[in-house]
Amino acid sequence: MLVAEARSLTGCVFGIPVPRDGSWWQGFDGPLPQNLEQLTASGHVFAILETVVHPHQYARGLARRLQERLLADHQASLGVTLLDRSDRSARAALEAWGWQEAGQVHRAPTVLCVLLLSLGERTPQHPDGLAHNDRTQRPG
């Protein structure tokens, strides 16, 4: 969890490392892309579970900065979040910050959008920034 304060609590974001065993992806609609499996197994995928920021004008951009800082603090190569398909305003904000839809996951009783924020280096072979390499392998 990461908290931002001014005179009082301004915002917070919290999340968890995605388990390496792939259980996070259960219910994914269709085959899971190999690069997501590899990054998950390497321990560099971090799930943003909630972001809350007070809507004051001085907090502009704070939610995005909090998410980026939390992901950086956990040395994530990939951020993931699940979002209700009907939450258009949250989706628009996340997409404006660089999050991209990667599919859907079925979590009873709902179907949620899977959004990813790739933090890896973009190359011609991996323009999405989702390359796995041995340098990102963390000890088990």
What contacts 39, CB < 8 A, 6 or more positions away?
Answer: 45, 77, 78, 130, 132, 136
Instruction: Kindly list the structural domains of the chain, giving each domain's residue range(s) and its CATH number in brackets, ordered by start.
Output: 2-136 (3.40.630.30)
**pLDDT given for residue 58 in this prediction:** 60
**pLDDT given for residue 119 in this prediction:** 84
**pLDDT given for residue 29 in this prediction:** 93
Interatomic CA distance for residues 39 and 19, integer angstroms: 11
Q: Are 80 and 118 in contact (CB under 8 A)?
A: no
**pLDDT given for residue 62 in this prediction:** 86
Residues in the chain predicted with pLDDT less than 70, given as ranges, are 5-6, 8-9, 56-59, 120-140
Q: Are 46 and 78 in contact (CB under 8 A)?
A: yes
